[in-house]
Structure 1
């Protein structure tokens, strides 16, 4: 029930990885023998699979250790190159922590950073965004699908607004890639961050899509042997990359069917909760959201206490990356939830291997635990 934190690896992905964990163990940078050629071929295949998913060219995909590295590379790398001419970066208050931290690093480096608020439904005010982009803006960074509340931003409009002002558009698509339709040309996306473990692939691998135009020149954040055409040095991991590619291929084939199935499942789950808990508060837009996500605040119930009472369920009260940080979710605070509402929140995520029987059982466990806690407090 916590698919936003990570997804289980699809067995078909593991099958694609196994040859590169055993017999085909070469270094892709070894260009003089068959072991290196085999490993390099794995990268080429995966690069094509990832590029196809978003309508990109193969040479525009650069493998990284994940979306966090890709986000750092995009924001810091672009501002380092273009910050003298256009020293302004625009992002959003509900972005993933790694984007906000990278933006803060850019601010410490002397660049101007605007962090825009969101509406109470979690969506960006596009008029406010348009006014914030000036001829000094180098980069606009807006997340595609929020990792906590699941809302889907209008990337096409964001991309159009950025392009009209001559700014580059970056999106953190870790929670969107392989789940919703993405097209870098139609959405005018110049840079996109991706993570494999959010779409049933292995952890430790992701990618940065970087449009092959001079305007996206950026400073590499890792120095070394010049792998990934000098953008990301370090020996590539063919097994992880092969798994990433296979996961992408599977997601592309099953995207529409999976989204529809999860939408039906989550609607049933939500109705069951609401029938017993009519005061449930849904966090984020009711419909403009990824169908596998539901974030709710439960009045009168402390989220941490609730989680301690439902050990049979794998749920979370917010982003996994922020679990070590005390205090209520900054995403929920950004949409106007008070501290009590934010502390009573649960993030529920379902995915490819979730069954309706599991959801029914989870709903029963959750409802019983909430009613018991409320009964104690009466």
Structure 2
């Protein structure tokens, strides 16, 4: 039975919706805002987190009534009913990707509620076990880039792996210092971002520097241009994709048959699209790992739960939220993260 089919017929009763917004400074130098949707029904509450990046889009919800339909459904019927919901009723989102992010918040809240009403959890409903989750810590190196943050992280837990975002101001000395840590597992070239604060235009010299400098690291989201194609193709067996991945069709459209994929659930919008893509990748021996988006609330639990259930041994970018704080705590959790013994819904 397909993974989604194991969830589709779960009954769900939705009586109402509430929302809370939260904000926090981050280690990447911006203020993160998210909105948690809480769906109430039959004495239970299901929660999902909207990771839309623009604060204006969260503020626009202040005077908006409930978005989700109420009543009794199967989970699949609930998801279908969301097709008719305008998630941005007062204004278009600042970025088109936000439509998927908010839809995921509603879908994951609905799934969390349906699982709780059925007195079960995600792994049990899918017929799978939950395993300890290995994670890497994602961090940027500042402007100008230094190894200071890396050294602070590895001082806390020397065995942690790292996911880093190379930028055009990296040089050979910095690469040598990072290589010496033996901690770099992923390098995110961010070649598919546009109009964000983390855009990194395709840079042939940077690509050559890091692809050759880190011969064992997974290379995520390179941009293919006449100048970068040759060096990117030289790393074909360790290429991964993140920003373009929104469903099975997006995987088929990649320039190369992928060997790795970063699974960020909010990019998919729907539970069905997410699980169908996971199965499609598995059938083709594509290695998977989870990704995060500076979640501040239940979304962090959800990405860790998905990792524990579906790809626990990948270089999962699902580190506890304390690693995103500007000042790293003295004793943040180490890897792996061990799931709780008695989960409900999408709890980790």
TM-score (norm 2): 0.33
Larger radius of gyration: 1
Q: Could you say which structure has the higher helix fraction?
A: 1
Q: Could you say which structure has the higher strand fraction?
A: 2
TM-score (norm 1): 0.31
